[in-house]
Amino acid sequence: MNQLIQKISQKYCKTKVPVLKPGYEVRVHQKIKEGNKERVQVFQGMVIKTNSGHGVSHTFTVRKISEGIGVEKTFPIHSPNIVKVDVLRAHKVRRSKLYFLRNLSGKALRLKEVPLKLQHTEFEKKEESKAESIEQTQEKQSESKPEIASDEQAKTTEEGNNEKTVAEKDSATETNKKD
């Protein structure tokens, strides 16, 4: 069951996504629909947690201070509404969840910056076209049925089609007599 879910969710995963860790400062470009218009909105802040989900269930939470008010957004990393994620900086942290940042403000909110070692995760997309799946089913059917001799094929087609002429039937019987 688990393998089936992974196989289905693979086609919805993006091919290449950055590995996000708590303490990274990121810029998330998100598609926003307003009526008939569509635009890209940027949300820049600190990654305070990443969900341990795999594939389409993988999420990350970004926190920023906007006009003195803390705002947190949780993004699914493979969402089609996420255009791209830019990793700007990395900060030294020793925890997997940075909830303590919620209580800090101003200069106390600063963390020590470390060199950024950016990595990407690559996902394989396995999409079958309809033509390929039809060919595979035809191959399976042909393998399961034994091959019929050409004379026997002629007899079955003659029996199946009532519209055959008498001349065609006579020629088929002559070939059977020769054998």
Residue 166 tokens read as 């008498």
CB 13 within 8 A of CB 121: no
Q: Which residue has better confidence, 127 or 79?
A: 79
Amino acid at the residue 91:
H
Q: Are residues 22 and 77 in the same domain?
A: yes
- C-alpha–C-alpha distance, residues 55 and 12, integer Å: 9
Domain end point (choices 102, 122, 142): 122
Q: Which residue has better confidence, 22 or 113?
A: 22
CATH of the domain at 10: 2.30.30.790
Predicted pLDDT of residue 117:
77
Q: Are residues 116 and 143 in the same domain?
A: no
Q: Are residues 102 and 153 in the same domain?
A: no
Q: Which residue has better confidence, 161 or 85?
A: 85
Q: Are residues 148 and 78 in the same domain?
A: no
Please say if the pLDDT value at position 67 is more than 80: yes
What percent of the chain lies above the pLDDT cut of 90?
Answer: 20
Interval 34-59 mean pLDDT: 88
- C-alpha–C-alpha distance, residues 120 and 133, integer Å: 32
Overall domain count for the chain: 2
Q: Are residues 118 and 134 in the same domain?
A: no
Distances (CA, A) of 25 to 10, 46, 87, 89, 110: 28, 4, 6, 5, 12
Please say if the pLDDT value at position 131 is more than 90: no
Q: Are residues 114 and 149 in the same domain?
A: no
Q: Which residue has better confidence, 143 or 25?
A: 25
Predicted pLDDT of residue 130:
47
CB 158 within 8 A of CB 173: no
Q: Are residues 12 and 83 in the same domain?
A: yes
Q: Are residues 98 and 20 in the same domain?
A: yes
Sequence-ordered list of residues with C-beta below 8 angstroms from that of 97, at least 6 positions apart, any chain: 22, 48, 49
Amino acid at the residue 122:
E
Of 26-35, 55-64, 101-110, 124-133, the range with the highest mean pLDDT is 26-35
Q: Are residues 112 and 159 in the same domain?
A: no
Predicted pLDDT of residue 179:
52
Domain end point (choices 100, 122, 144): 122
Q: Are residues 95 and 159 in the same domain?
A: no
Confidence label for 139 from pLDDT (cuts 50, 70 and 90): low
DSSP 101-167: GGG--GGGG---EE-----EEE-------HHHHHHHHHHHHHHHSPP--HHHHHHHHHHH-TT--HH
Q: Are residues 152 and 93 in the same domain?
A: no
Predicted pLDDT of residue 162:
46
Please say if the pLDDT value at position 83 is more than 80: yes
Interval 163-171 mean pLDDT: 53
Q: Are residues 151 and 76 in the same domain?
A: no
DSSP 19: P
Q: Which domain holds residue 57?
A: 2-122
